Amino acid sequence: MEKIGADKAAALLDSAEEILLIGHTDPDGDCLGSLYAMKAGLVSKGKKASVYLRKPLPLKYRFLGDELEKNAEIPECDLVVALDTPQLKRLDIGDPARLKSPILAIDHHPGEHSEFSYALWDDGKSACALLVKEVFQKMAVAITPKMAGALYAGIMTDTNCFVNQNTERDAFVAAGELMDLGARPNEIAKYVYGSLTPGDILALSKALSSLELYDRDRIAILSLKKEWQDEHNDADTELFVNYARNLINTEVAIMLTETKESVRVNLRSKNGFDVSAVAKRLGGGGHKPAAGIRMKCSLEEAKKILLENIKFDD
Ligand SMILES: [Mn+2]
């Protein structure tokens, strides 16, 4: 792996003709916004760019449009760009051995990135979208209002509306510049946070009433059982964990969503507890204050394993 800067990343993209873009499994706003903007920017430069996406866009990200449709084809390409992920196994592609071209990672997660050919990687950035914006500046890509909106959505979601610990000045500066280029924060917030369905609200009430507290209330767990998910058809539980984090004594918040195949675990922390280390130990990944895992076990087993793995110093 060669660690590179935005200059070299721009040069690699400039010299490639056909480029495949891939994000991580369970793609979030930063991942999807970066994928959309990257594709549009490369196409504007005359490149043949496609996005590999295993599932259709979630309702709240549909504003990103038809350009991000479900696509399970891996075309011939000179370069693969892995966005918003530090590891091959987190790529939304099933078997990474299917990728035969060099892979450029553009990412802001902690981790080695050693499996990639090149990595433009800065874990001091609050969103992958900030790195994509930097590369575009080097490539002199003209950012359209829609691309600006996609990049803004990436920064907004990964900073939890500019309040997370990782929100530095550069996120605000970039957001301002993207507004100048046509991003509309109010519109984007309406899509991302205002696309809840009645089923989502019912699922939220169910999850909230499941609250369990451990270790002097420092660990808060919310959960949704499989039966509920089946009945209400895949409720959007991504942000539920924030309710548990916002409890006054919570240090670590956990949201468990049981699906047919596995338990999806969302982890959040306050005051410095490193949940990415817990996630990594159990086969997931993420950032110090926000991480995720897919666990192949029952809800109760997942709970037990997580509690065994979250220990405070005192
Ligand atoms: Mn991200």
**57 plus 203 within the same structural domain:** no
Domain boundary residue, one of 131, 157, 192: 192
Measure 88 CA to ligand 1 centroid, in angstroms.
15
Number of domains forming the structure of the chain: 2
Tell me the per-residue pLDDT of 7-40, one tens digit each, with 9 for 90 and over. 999 999 999 999 999 999 889 999 999 999 999 9
Tell me the per-residue pLDDT of 118-144, one tens digit each, with 9 for 90 and over. 999 999 999 999 999 999 999 999 999
Q: What is the pLDDT of the chain when averaged over all its residues?
A: 94
By the CB criterion, residues less than 5 angstroms from ion ligand 1 are 30, 84, 128, 158
pLDDT at position 199 is 87
Tell me the per-residue pLDDT of 245-272, one tens digit each, with 9 for 90 and over. 999 999 999 999 998 889 999 999 999 9
Per the DSSP assignment, residues forming a β-bridge with 22 are 52, 82
Measure 34 CA to ligand 1 centroid, in angstroms.
9
Measure 122 CA to ligand 1 centroid, in angstroms.
11
| 314 within domain boundaries | no
Is the pLDDT at 58 greater than 90? The verdict is no
Domain boundary residue, one of 192, 215, 246: 192
Is the pLDDT at 174 greater than 80? The verdict is yes
Tell me the per-residue pLDDT of 69-82, one tens digit each, with 9 for 90 and over. 888 889 999 999 99
Measure 128 CA to ligand 1 centroid, in angstroms.
5
The parent domain of residue 90 ranges over 2-192
**269 plus 174 within the same structural domain:** no
Measure 30 CA to ligand 1 centroid, in angstroms.
5
CATH code (residue 245)? 3.10.310.30
**7 plus 146 within the same structural domain:** yes
- What average pLDDT does range 273-286 have in this prediction? 94
Measure 108 CA to ligand 1 centroid, in angstroms.
6
Q: Which of 125-129, 155-159, 232-236, 238-242 has the lowest mean pLDDT?
A: 232-236
Measure 127 CA to ligand 1 centroid, in angstroms.
5
Question: Which pTM does this prediction carry?
Answer: 0.93
**100 plus 41 within the same structural domain:** yes
Measure 9 CA to ligand 1 centroid, in angstroms.
18
Is the pLDDT at 230 greater than 70? The verdict is no
Measure 142 CA to ligand 1 centroid, in angstroms.
23
Measure 216 CA to ligand 1 centroid, in angstroms.
31
Whether the Cβ atoms of residue 119 and residue 2 lie closer than 8 Å to each other: yes
| 227 within domain boundaries | yes
**142 plus 6 within the same structural domain:** yes
The whole-angstrom separation of Cα 49 and Cα 262 is: 33
